[in-house]
Amino acid sequence: MWRCLGNSEARFTLLRMTRTMSKVEISEFFARLKKAMPNPKTELQYVNPYTLLVAVVLSAQATDKGVNKATAELFKRVDDPKKMVALGEKGLTQYIKTIGLYRGKAKNVIALSHILLEKHDGKVPRDREALEELPGVGRKTANVVLNVAFGEKTIAVDTHIFRVSNRTGLAPGKDVREVEDKLVRRVPDEYALHAHHWLILHGRYTCIARKPLCPTCMVRDLCHFKDKTRPEDF
């Protein structure tokens, strides 16, 4: 799900928009996305907050499809931290070895499971600070868990949201934190809960990196992306 911003994404920050979207444009932007996807959901498969947390940790620099393939059998056997600790690091690697960086991820999942049992009664905390104290959990992962598991109006900026926010003029920023902060301020409250998924899915399937599907884009007339001669930068 999460990937480091590549050189093309970094270069894009140099091609800043002449202006950002207006409040009216932003409201219309999300109204259209909502009409097309009334109830957007994460494409990661999970059965409870704990398995969601594990799936998001595993998704760093990996695709949702790849993670789902690996966890399909894992989550049939393991759905809480106690069972994960019993499985152990070696046992976990047998399920997730098709995922990139699986050894480090297995170590983090076992470690965070121990912490959940020792400090949180085996429950996933509904608290950003507590989540970010867990091994392998950063701000983006915490935002996903808070949004998906607990219905918090958080926005986890991955490479797709970073690209869409800059390219369209929705919330231009030089790094993911600047984009996140701008989105939190600019997204109308009525759309805040699902903004995270609307933007990810739009970036994943329409506003794609190298050759955005502008002719079929439902928000093309609102988009401030003007430099269409350098698709390699996006």
- Residue-wise pLDDT for 84-129, tens only, equals 999 999 999 999 999 999 999 999 999 999 999 999 999 999 999 9
CATH number reported for the structural domain that contains residue 101 in this entry: 1.10.340.30
Tell which of 133, 148, 163 closes a domain: 148
Q: Is the pLDDT confidence value at 6 over 60?
A: no
At 185, list the tokens: 């301020």
Same domain, 19 and 73: no
pLDDT of res. 225: 87
Give yes or no for a contact between 154 and 196, defined as CB atoms under 8 angstroms apart: yes
Q: Is the pLDDT confidence value at 3 over 80?
A: no
Task: Determine the structural domain holding residue 127 and report its residue range.
Answer: 49-148
Under the banding of pLDDT at 50, 70 and 90, the label for residue 7 is very low
Cα 15 to the center of its chain, rounded Å: 24
Catalytic residue numbers read: 140, 158
Residue 227 inside a domain? The answer is: yes
Q: Kindly tell me the burial class for residue 3, based on how many C-beta atoms sit within 10 Å of its own C-beta (0-12, 13-18, 19 or more).
A: middle
User: 124-167: per-residue pLDDT in tens?
Assistant: 999 999 999 999 999 999 999 999 999 999 999 999 999 999 99
Separation of alpha carbons 230 and 100, rounded Å: 30
Residue 2 inside a domain? The answer is: no
Which residue is associated with the tokens 């989540």? 131
User: Within 13 Å of residue 15, how many CA atoms lie on the same side as its CB?
Assistant: 21
Same domain, 58 and 110: yes
pTM, to two decimals: 0.86
pLDDT of res. 226: 66
Q: Is the pLDDT confidence value at 234 over 60?
A: no
Same domain, 85 and 103: yes
Tell which of 106, 129, 148 closes a domain: 148
Same domain, 159 and 209: yes
What is the residue-averaged pLDDT of the chain?
Answer: 90
User: How many domains, in total, are found in the chain?
Assistant: 2
Same domain, 36 and 62: no
User: 184-219: per-residue pLDDT in tens?
Assistant: 999 999 999 999 999 999 999 999 999 999 999 999
Residue 195 inside a domain? The answer is: yes
Same domain, 136 and 212: no
Nearest to 7 by CA among 188, 216, 159: 159
Residue 201 inside a domain? The answer is: yes
Tell which of 94, 128, 148 closes a domain: 148
Same domain, 88 and 131: yes
Same domain, 57 and 27: no
Reduce the DSSP state of residue 2 to 3 states and report it: strand
Same domain, 201 and 217: yes
Which residue is associated with the tokens 């996006």? 234
Q: Kindly tell me the burial class for residue 26, based on how many C-beta atoms sit within 10 Å of its own C-beta (0-12, 13-18, 19 or more).
A: buried
Residue 1 inside a domain? The answer is: no
